[in-house]
Amino acid sequence: MTDGSQGLSRRGLLGLLGAGAGGLVVGGVGGAAVGASVASASATATEDGAVHPFFGDRQSGITTPVQDHLHFASYDMADDATREDLVSLLQDWSYAAARMTQGLDVSASGAVGGSPQAPPDDTGEALGLPASSLTVTFGLGPTLFEKDGADRFGIAAQRPAALVDLPRFVGDGLDPMETGGDLCIQACADDPQVAVHAVRNLSRIAFGRAKIRWSQLGFGRTSKTTSDQVTPRNLFGFKDGTANILADDEDALREHVWVAEGDGAAWLAGGSYLVARKIAMIIEQWDRQQLAEQGRIIGRDKAEGAPLSGGEEFTALDLDKRDESGEPLIDEAAHVRLAHPTVNGGVRILRRGYNYVNGTSELGRLDAGLFFLSFQRSPEQFVRLQRSLSTDLLSEYIRHVGSGVFAVPPGAADGSYVGAGLFA
């Protein structure tokens, strides 16, 4: 903990007090400019994980090496929230996130430095833990700009044309209580307690201004963003994200991930779009499928992740290669074929998904699946891919049950806050 100057607004501090006094209340207040003391405070990388900067040209948590754990939360602004509430919330969130990503408490008073007669500013479950590679990424949903025809915060004219609700796709079974949201927070860390601590404390700060609409915990990353990371596996047991865009592929990032100056909405240039999809896996049905059939459905070998057209994991797919009878080695409806750029006009996305298990259903089946997260220059890239996957053989074993699309602003300059350009 450092003793820097006060960074949370009065409303943010009252949010901590209100949430603390009310028990496990989720929601919150926020407000003042981000203290410069946070930008200068330092924490060092340890064996338990690196420290990623909060301030910079881009938000962390996009091309950052994918961590092992996720806490994702979508929020709705309060019905009576004002433009000033929204601005102060983003300022308070940025201040607190900048501290927590350095392994510091949410404020200078923290978990144990305040008055014994008042609730602590920080909930304390991360005391003694390192930063654990924590990143906190903020997104803005379509309804933040306009909801039921109302321009609640005077920013409807600033909404990017591409930021609209996703269309309904074949096989969607979306739960309205796990869909949408005005704002989102993606907290990723190598320690699940650190990720949960971040969302818990940001929710306390938001008390009175915003409340959680839906959330999801994730574990076991299902993608990689650097070449030195091993390709992980999803709950179907197959390697996932073999062909993902990597952090050092600047050309691909520029073409497929980062919003450009000419894409409209100048405040979003340098940012991206986030699509979140909660995909339930019908685990028991999949587990009864023959190994060869599982490989045919995916289009890859289960052991090494090599394409069925031959080679090793990173061998390029040969979609034209056929067996002796003339049948394609990679099925016409295999997942990897339908998701391949050559089938989708060259479209690519950057994936940061996670496995999830939410216990069991009333029938005793695993409530489990993939919490899919992708970043792209436009949501249309995801729409193109998802429509292509409408005939995917894998569709028999999955169901999309939650969804959200968010504009992810560029990073904040030292002493500023994420989203500042929207209000300039």
pLDDT in tens, the chain (424 residues): 333 335 777 677 666 665 543 333 333 333 334 444 444 334 444 445 689 999 999 999 999 999 999 999 999 999 999 999 999 999 999 999 999 999 999 999 999 999 999 999 999 999 999 999 999 999 999 999 999 999 999 999 999 999 999 999 998 999 999 999 999 999 999 999 999 999 999 999 999 999 999 999 999 999 999 999 999 999 999 999 999 999 999 999 999 999 999 998 999 999 999 999 999 999 999 999 999 999 999 999 999 999 999 999 999 999 999 999 999 999 999 999 999 999 999 999 999 999 999 999 888 999 999 999 999 999 999 999 999 999 999 999 999 999 999 999 999 999 999 999 999 8
Neighbouring C-beta atoms of residue 287, cutoff 10 Å: 12
- pLDDT score for 17: 60
Q: What is the pLDDT of residue 62?
A: 98
The pLDDT of residue 25 is 32
Q: Are 216 and 207 in contact (CB under 8 A)?
A: no
3-state helix, strand, coil in the chain (%, to 5): 25, 20, 50
Instruction: Report how far residue 321's alpha carbon sits from residue 107's, in angstroms, rounded to the nearest whole number.
Output: 59
pLDDT attached to residue 7: 78
Report domain extents, the chain: 10-40+49-166+177-235
Give all strands (DSSP E) within 60-209, no chain letters. Answer: 69-77, 135-140, 183-189
- Angstrom distance (rounded) from CA 72 to CA 188: 8
Handedness of CA 171, 177, 178, 181 (dihedral sign): positive
Residues 6 or more apart in contact with residue 422 via CB below 8 angstroms: 140, 155, 158, 267, 409
Instruction: Note the residue count of the chain.
Output: 424
Whole-prediction pTM: 0.91
d(CA 407, CA 273): 5
In contact, 402 and 276? CB cutoff 8 Å: yes
Task: Determine the residue type at 308.
Answer: L
